[in-house]
């Protein structure tokens, strides 16, 4: 009896997966447009610029820099973001996103997401999520400042216990 039930469940799952329609590229592109995926790249570039500037300020600390050193540090984030814009642009990333979505979602799921993002709640999520992510990243960065020294202590202790000399 138990074997028959398991076989029936297995056949049901198999039948459901056979009938699942893969997501179409057109539907995925519609979803990406609705969720403003391309616009998120601009947010990513701005965040990268801001994070680099903050990281450099922390690295420099209270040291006094020459005008040339300061200029070089001021120019570096823009150069970094320019490379990101060149290599991680929408024309390059969009086909990758479509492929990932096709591998991850079925057509019915994409249709459900399109329906959700067409609602006021869905639009609110799209509009507010970049701010939520930015605040979340800021909190994680603050937490990492205290975690990194503790992690370093664990590494040092483990190396010491393993008898591996410090470089």
Give tens-digit pLDDT for 127-148.
998 889 889 988 988 888 888 8
Give me the percent of the chain exceeding a pLDDT of 70.
88
Cα separation of 112 and 109, whole Å?
A: 5
Backbone angles phi, psi at 106, to 5 degrees: -95, 165
In 3D space, the residue among 44, 46, 24 whose CA is nearest the CA of residue 36 turns out to be: 44
Taking the alpha carbons of 134, 139, 142, 147 in that order, is the dihedral positive or negative? negative
Give per-residue pLDDT as tens, 28-73. 999 999 999 998 888 888 888 888 888 888 878 888 888 998 898 8
Note the pTM of the prediction, 2 decimals. 0.65
């Amino acid at each position: 009896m138990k074997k028959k039930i398991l076989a029936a469940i297995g056949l049901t799952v198999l039948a459901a997966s056979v009938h699942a329609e893969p997501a179409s590229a057109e539907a995925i592109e519609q979803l990406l447009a609705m969720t403003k995926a391309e616009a998120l790249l601009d947010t990513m570039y701005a965040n990268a610029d801001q994070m680099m500037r903050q990281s450099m300020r922390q690295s420099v600390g209270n040291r006094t820099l020459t005008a040339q050193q300061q200029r070089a540090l001021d120019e570096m984030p823009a150069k970094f973001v320019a490379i990101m814009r060149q290599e991680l642009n929408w024309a390059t990333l969009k086909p990758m996103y479509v492929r990932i979505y096709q591998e991850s979602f079925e057509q019915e799921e994409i249709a459900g997401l399109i329906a959700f993002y067409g609602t006021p709640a869905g639009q609110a999520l799209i509009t507010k999520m970049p701010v939520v992510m930015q605040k979340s990243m800021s909190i994680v960065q603050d937490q990492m400042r205290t975690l990194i020294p503790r992690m370093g202590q664990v590494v040092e202790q483990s190396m010491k216990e393993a008898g591996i000399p410090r470089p």
